[in-house]
Amino acid sequence: MESVMSDRVENERGRIAITGLKAMQLLSGTGQSLVRVETDAGVVGIGEAGADGPAARANLRWLERVLIGADPLEIGKLYHQMMGLQHTYQAHVPTVSGVDIALWDLAGKVLNRPVCDLLTGRFRDRVEIYYGIGPSDVTNRAGVEEWVGEFRSHPHGYRTVKVSWSNWLDSARLSRPFDPAAPSQTLKVSDLKIIQAGYETLREAMGWDLDFIVHCHNEWDVPSAIGLCRALEEAQPLWIEDPLQVWFSGGYKALRAASRVPICTGEKIEGFRDFLPFIVEGGIDVLHPDLCWCGGISGGRRIAELAEHYGLPVALHNCGSLVHNMANAHFGASVRNFSMSESRLYSNAYIAEMGGLDCFDLVDGMLAVPEGPGLGIDLVPEVLLAELAEGEPFWD
C-alpha cells in the first residue's frame, strides 16, 4: 500500500504549485481561524490555525517566502522549513499548524485519498469524542442525577465528560480572587474538601460505566495541585487536565511523582521541542496536544511517535470548527496510541452547519473517520459568510 501511494505521489510531484495563502476568522471560532492554501491547478486545501484572523494573515505573509511556488505535496520538507524559521522572526506555530493541516487536505484531494490513508492507514474507523459540560451544582444530589440522566440520553451517546469545578467555590474565600488561567494560584484544605465532595457525588451518580475528566486551566501552584490530586483519588477520574502552568516541566514531574491520579497537559504547548521535556523527564501520563497549536498533523504525529516510545497515550484538545474536528478524526485514525478527542459538536450548531447535512456520523460517542478525499468535508460558503467575525474578509 505504501509503495503504491508513494508512486502516486511521485507521479504528481512538480505538477502543481502553491499560489496563495489566506485566512479568515469565524464568529464562534474561539479565537482560531480557517486557513486556505491555493494552487495553480485550482485545487485548494483548508486548515485551521490557533490564531485569530489578523494574526494568522500577518504570519502567512511571512510564510510566503517558503510556500509560494512550492510543490504542496512536499509536506515534510515544507513543515521543516516553516518550523525552522528563526530570522527575522521565529516560526509562529499556530499559523504553521493551520497551513500544515491545509497541505494534508490538499494532498488528499490531489491524490483522491483520505488524509489518514496518506499517513499510516487506519488503526480505527471511529474515534472517541468526549463531552465538555458537567453539572453546575454538585451539592444537589438530585440535580446531579438529573444531569446524568440527560447526559446518558444525549443523541451522540457520549461516554466521557470533562467537568470544571471553579464555580463550586466561593472566590472570596480563596487566598486571592480566582482568575481562570492565571498561574500559581493557591487552594486551602477547606477548598479541597468541597472539590472532593463534589466529584465523589458526581462519581456516585454516574456509576462506573461512564468516565469523567477533571478540567483545570494551568492555574494552580504545585502544592495545590498535589492536594487536588489527592482529593480526587476516590472518585477516580480518567485524568486531571492542566493543573499547572506549562512553562516549568519540573513542576509536572514533581506532581506526577506525588499523584495517584493521571496527569494530562498539552493544549498550550507549541511544537515537538516544547513537548520533549514533558515526555522524556516523566512529567505527564497523558499528552493533550492541540493540532491547531502544536504544528498541525505533521507536528502532532511527531509528538505522538515519541509518546508511544515512552508508553504514553495521546488525547486531543479541540475547541474549533468542523475543520479542526475532522483533522482530529484523521489523526486519531492513523495514530496507534491515540485515546480520544475533545469536541464542541454538542454545543455549537455552526460546526455541523458549515459542512452541510450529514457532514459527520457520531454514534455511541464514536465519530466516524471521513471516507472522502482530504479531510473529507466540503464547506458551505453561505454558512461561513454568516459566521464571519466582524471586519473579517471572506477568503481575501
Indicate the pTM of the whole model: 0.95
* Same structural domain, 175 and 288: yes
| pLDDT, tens digit, 9 for 90 and up, residues 334-375 | 999 999 999 999 888 999 999 998 899 999 999 999 999 999
| pLDDT, tens digit, 9 for 90 and up, residues 226-277 | 999 999 999 999 999 999 999 999 999 999 999 999 999 999 999 999 999 9
* Same structural domain, 191 and 277: yes
- In the chain, the number of structural domains is 2
* Same structural domain, 139 and 85: no
* Same structural domain, 106 and 170: no
Per-residue pLDDT, 348: 86
Domain that residue 85 falls in = 2-117
| Residue 2 banded pLDDT, cuts 50, 70, 90 | very low
**Predicted confidence (pLDDT) at residue 4 exceeds the cutoff of 50:** no
* Same structural domain, 151 and 238: yes
Written in H, E and C, the secondary structure of the chain is CHHHHHHHHHHHCCCCCEEEEEEEEECCCCCCEEEEEEECCCCEEEEEECCCHHHHHHHHHHHHHHHCCCCCCCHHHHHHHHHCCCCCCCCCHHHHHHHHHHHHHHHHHHHCCEHHHHHCCCCCCEEEEEECCCCCCCCCHHHHHHHHHHHHCCCCCCCEEEEECHHHCCHHHCCCCCCCCCCCECCCHHHHHHHHHHHHHHHHHHCCCCEEEEECCCCECHHHHHHHHHHCCCCCCCCEECCCCCCCHHHHHHHHHHCCCCEEECCCCCHHHHHHHHHHCCCCCEECCCCCCCCHHHHHHHHHHHHHHCCCCEEECCCCCHHHHHHHHHHHHHCCCEEEEECCCCCCHHHHHCCCCCCCCEECCEEECCCCCECCCCCCHHHHHHHECCCCCCCC
How much is the average pLDDT of 28-51? 95
On average, the pLDDT of the chain sits at 94
Q: What CATH number should be reported for the domain holding residue 63?
A: 3.30.390.10
* Same structural domain, 57 and 104: yes
Per-residue pLDDT, 1: 38
Per-residue pLDDT, 175: 67
How much is the average pLDDT of 26-37? 92
Per-residue pLDDT, 200: 98
* Same structural domain, 231 and 358: yes
* Same structural domain, 83 and 144: no
* Same structural domain, 124 and 106: no
* Same structural domain, 27 and 15: yes
Q: What CATH number should be reported for the domain holding residue 346?
A: 3.20.20.120
How much is the average pLDDT of 300-314? 97
**Predicted confidence (pLDDT) at residue 3 exceeds the cutoff of 70:** no
